[in-house]
């Protein structure tokens, strides 16, 4: 079997970019299968820091990188990202492939996302404002524009006229934004210019991916966001608009499930969330502030401060099951180096007094976390690269997490850089 999927097990920003970059060393191709430039994946090595939004993190190792059919693409943003990489010495020509079936995030998607959020006031979802929700709505509503549609200028114009008439009616009558209406002819011109610059990258990625599968090549599927932002399984409606779970690597990447051998769940040693929505272990006190400042918890895409809290084993256990996680990559343990004691949430007490160890359908806002307390290790672990150098108390914390969530750790990350990593058994991936 040839496919390994990397998924976030919490609310995103678990360190997927770092781990994907690390595992890419052993991979022949990296595929993004969902989401868009709402993602922000940080990769650090040497003195370089890269934040990737759309392009798979594999690009930094000059490995074939594919934007699959399940991704939604803001074309000018993709061109900007290509240009930024080029300026930093990373050439994507020949390495990057873009699915003709991927849907475009158009300017009205961005605008409607922002207008809707502004209109919701207190009830806003706290989206990244990148137009992701409206783009997926139009995909499912069969009003989307696919990358490959731009190969046919006449049909593209017909489609724009039909779609823009509807969008302008919404802007005029629903959002009182008649000054922001769109003109089909100028969008047509603008997007055909963009397309000229990207056309040589556009291909039938499912065919490409399956030809790699047939040759026995190692594929790495890079998830974006996290399990609890999944449209089906997350804390709806405070979620993103795609399926973020590993199963979507198949639909969004174009492979059959039998090819997946490993699912690596990325787990932050505590919990963070950006945007609105329930967060049972959130800390609105000084401990939460410490996690934010020591952990540098500010959004890689929007720069917003991330909400911080203790590790929630109820969430991650559910994520292990939903994604079929075969092993865990634990990140940011070093951020806990100075804490006197650490809390692990092992269950939820509901308002009616009942307790749950499985993630419940409702009542997330009001649950009271049931905590277990462990002593901190109070030793600097940042940058350690040998398992035997890890303090006993850190290993106890790690082992308790493994027990509670039902999956073994395969990678321990001790810092943001590629080299700050302990891989427990480097030969274990892509084996079964």
- Nearest residue (CB) to ligand GDP, 149 versus 334: 334
**413: partner contacted, choices ligand GDP, Mg ion, ligand IMO, none (Cβ within 5-8 A by kind):** ligand GDP
- Nearest residue (CB) to ligand IMO, 107 versus 126: 126
Is residue 309 close enough to count as binding ligand IMO by CB under 6 A? no
- Nearest residue (CB) to ligand IMO, 8 versus 252: 8
- Nearest residue (CB) to ligand IMO, 320 versus 394: 320
The catalytic residue positions are: 13, 41
> Tokens 């290509």 label which residue?
82
| 130 within 8 A of 111, measured Cβ to Cβ | no
Is residue 13 close enough to count as binding ligand IMO by CB under 6 A? yes
DSSP H or E run through 49:
strand 48-52
Query: Cα angle vertex 334, ends 376, 404, to 5°?
Result: 60
**342: partner contacted, choices Mg ion, ligand GDP, ligand IMO, none (Cβ within 5-8 A by kind):** none
**18: partner contacted, choices ligand IMO, ligand GDP, Mg ion, none (Cβ within 5-8 A by kind):** ligand GDP
Residue range at the interface with ligand IMO (CB under 6 A); choices 35-43, 204-212, 333-341, 370-378 = 35-43
| Cα separation, 57 vs 85, whole angstroms | 11
DSSP character for 247?
Answer: T
| 52 within 8 A of 59, measured Cβ to Cβ | yes
- Nearest residue (CB) to ligand IMO, 225 versus 413: 225
Is residue 15 close enough to count as binding ligand IMO by CB under 6 A? no
Is residue 334 close enough to count as binding ligand IMO by CB under 6 A? no
Instruction: Give the contact letters, 249-288, x = binds to ligand IMO (CB under 6 A), - = no.
Output: -------------------------xx-------------
Is residue 57 close enough to count as binding ligand IMO by CB under 6 A? no
Helices (H) and strands (E) in the chain, counts: 11, 20
Contact positions vs Mg ion (CB under 5 A): 13, 40, 300
**74: partner contacted, choices ligand GDP, Mg ion, ligand IMO, none (Cβ within 5-8 A by kind):** none
> Tokens 């940042």 label which residue?
382
Size of the chain, expressed as the number of residues it contains: 432
| 370 within 8 A of 404, measured Cβ to Cβ | no
Residue range at the interface with ligand IMO (CB under 6 A); choices 119-127, 263-271, 342-350, 416-424 = 119-127
- Nearest residue (CB) to ligand GDP, 2 versus 225: 225
DSSP character for 210?
Answer: H
| Cα separation, 184 vs 170, whole angstroms | 15
Contact positions vs ligand GDP (CB under 6 A): 8, 12-18, 40-42, 44, 300, 331-332, 334-335, 413-416
**Judged by CB under 6 A, which of 125, 177, 181, 198 binds ligand IMO?**
125
List the one residue out of 352, 386, 350 whose CA is nearest residue 370.
Answer: 350
**146: partner contacted, choices ligand IMO, ligand GDP, Mg ion, none (Cβ within 5-8 A by kind):** none
List the one residue out of 360, 415, 425 whose CA is nearest residue 387.
Answer: 425
Using CA atoms of 5, 198, 203, 301 in order, give the dihedral in degrees to the nearest 10.
20
- Nearest residue (CB) to ligand GDP, 138 versus 297: 297
# binding residues, ligand IMO (CB under 6 A) = 25
Is residue 240 close enough to count as binding ligand IMO by CB under 6 A? yes
Span 392-411, contacts to ligand IMO by CB under 6 A: none
Is residue 416 close enough to count as binding ligand IMO by CB under 6 A? no
**Judged by CB under 6 A, which of 32, 50, 130, 188 binds ligand IMO?**
130
Map residue 406 onto helix, strand or coil.
coil
At CB < 8 A and 24+ separation, what contacts does 150-159 make?
150/191, 150/192, 150/195, 150/199, 151/100, 151/195, 151/199, 151/202, 153/188, 153/192, 156/188, 156/191, 156/192, 157/184, 157/185, 157/188
Query: Cα angle vertex 34, ends 33, 36, to 5°?
Result: 120
- Nearest residue (CB) to ligand IMO, 298 versus 371: 298
| 73 within 8 A of 147, measured Cβ to Cβ | yes
Is residue 72 close enough to count as binding ligand IMO by CB under 6 A? no
Is residue 76 close enough to count as binding ligand IMO by CB under 6 A? no
Instruction: Give the contact letters, 196-225, x = binds to ligand IMO (CB under 6 A), - = no.
Output: ----------------------------xx
Instruction: Please state, in angstroms and as integers, the Cα–Cα distance from residue 14 to each residue in 42, 110, 167, 354, following that order.
Output: 10, 26, 36, 30
Site residues for ligand IMO per CB under 6 A: 8, 11-13, 38-41, 125-128, 130, 132-133, 224-226, 229, 238, 240-241, 274-275, 300
């Amino acid at each position: 079997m040839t496919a390994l999927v990397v998924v976030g097990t919490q609310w995103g920003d678990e360190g997927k970019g770092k781990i994907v970059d690390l595992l890419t060393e052993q991979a022949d191709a990296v595929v993004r299968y969902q989401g868009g430039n709402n993602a922000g994946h940080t990769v650090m090595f040497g003195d370089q820091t890269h934040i990737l939004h759309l392009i798979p993190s594999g690009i930094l190792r000059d490995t074939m990188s594919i934007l699959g059919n399940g991704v939604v693409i803001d074309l000018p943003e993709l061109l900007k990202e290509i240009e930024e990489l080029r300026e930093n010495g990373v050439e994507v020509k020949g390495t990057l492939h873009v699915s003709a079936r991927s849907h475009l995030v158009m300017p009205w998607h961005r605008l409607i996302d922002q207008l809707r959020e502004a209109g919701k006031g207190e009830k806003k979802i706290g989206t990244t404002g990148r137009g992701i929700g409206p783009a997926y709505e139009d995909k499912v509503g069969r009003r989307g524009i696919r990358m490959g549609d731009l190969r046919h200028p006449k049909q593209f114009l017909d489609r724009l006229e039909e779609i823009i008439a509807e969008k302008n009616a919404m802007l005029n009558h629903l959002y009182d934004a008649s000054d922001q209406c769109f003109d089909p002819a100028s969008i047509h011109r603008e997007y055909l210019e963009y397309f000229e610059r990207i056309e040589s990258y556009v291909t039938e990625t499912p065919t490409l991916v399956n030809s790699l599968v047939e040759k026995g090549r190692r594929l790495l599927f890079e998830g974006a966001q996290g399990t609890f932002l999944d449209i089906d399984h997350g804390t709806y409606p405070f979620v993103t608009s795609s399926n973020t779970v590993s199963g979507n690597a198949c639909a969004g990447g174009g492979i059959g499930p039998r090819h997946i051998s490993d699912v690596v769940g990325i787990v932050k040693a505590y919990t963070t969330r950006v945007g609105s929505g329930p967060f049972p272990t959130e800390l609105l006190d000084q401990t939460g502030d410490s996690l934010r400042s020591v952990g540098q918890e500010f959004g890689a895409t929007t720069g917003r401060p991330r909400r911080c809290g203790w590790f929630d084993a109820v969430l991650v256990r559910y994520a292990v099951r939903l994604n079929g996680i075969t092993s865990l990559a634990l990140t940011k343990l070093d951020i806990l180096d100075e804490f006197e004691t650490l809390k692990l949430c092992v269950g939820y007490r509901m308002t009616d007094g009942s307790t749950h160890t499985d993630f419940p359908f409702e009542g997330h806002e009001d649950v009271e976390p049931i905590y277990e307390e462990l002593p901190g290790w109070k030793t600097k672990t940042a940058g350690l690269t040998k398992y035997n150098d890890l303090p006993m108390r850190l290993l106890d914390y790690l082992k308790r997490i493994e027990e509670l969530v039902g999956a073994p750790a395969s990678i321990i990350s001790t810092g943001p850089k590629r080299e700050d990593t302990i891989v427990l058994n480097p030969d274990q991936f892509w084996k079964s």
